[in-house]
Each structure stands twice: as C-alpha cells, then as structure tokens.
Amino acid sequence: MDVTGYVYEVQVLKALVLGEEERGQSQYQVMCFVTKFQKGDFITADAMVKLRQKNPSTIRTPEEDRGKENYTMTGWVLLDRATPISRHVAPFCVEAQEATYVREADLRAWAELP
C-alpha cells in the first residue's frame, strides 16, 4: 500500500513482512518507507482514471524503461513528529512505530521547503 502527498512531494510505502513461525519470529512486521518524489515523475490517480475511461481495454506500458532505483534509508521517522513531512504518515504507519524509515537527503529537502 502507499499514500502520496503532492504538497511536499511525499510518497509513503507500507510493507507487511510475514514472519517465519519455525524460526520463532512474530507473525508479521510492518515497515514504512517515506521518500520524496519529483512531481514530473508521477502520474496522478485522476489522470489514470481518465485514461481508463477513454480506452478501457487498452493495455498500457511505459514509454521508456527507467530501470531500478535503490534507496538506502539512513534515518527513521518519529511518528509523533511526522506532521511537517505529511499529515498522512502517522496514521498510515501507526503499526510501524519503530520501523518507519527515511533518507537523510529527503529530510534535508523537506526542511528547505517553506
């Protein structure tokens, strides 16, 4: 699941990782990853809905392959202080109190915004 906030260009990805019972791990762990995206690199849900309505049977493929991006999440977010990033982070990641991660570069970019 993910949530996207357009004001500060925030994307939050929530991952549910199932544990292995035979290893004595808990049933599951929830992790959140908060990243900054470029508005030009993202297609809004409204635009996708309009495309589907226009040609509902069309199979869409990307115009270009941009490859993979790897992120190293070097920091974590305290959910009770996440509102300046996005008001959606805390409620969306409530199950990931100790496992909400962010890149330092993204934190610096958000800190520079008005």
- For 57-73, write each residue's pLDDT tens digit: 877 777 788 788 899 99
Q: Which pLDDT band, with edges at 50, 70 and 90, does 50 fall under? A: confident
Residue 61, domain member (yes or no): no
Compute the average pLDDT of residues 16-32: 83
- The b-or-e profile of 39-74 (16+ CB within 10 A means b, else e) is eeeeeeeeeeeeeeeeeeeeeeeeeeeeeeeeeebe
Residue 62, domain member (yes or no): no
Number of domains observed in the structure of the chain: 1
Compute the average pLDDT of residues 90-107: 94
Residue 63, domain member (yes or no): no
Displacement of CA 56 from its chain's centroid (Å): 27
Percentage of the chain with pLDDT > 70?
90
Domain that holds residue 78: 2-56+70-111
The structure's pTM equals 0.74
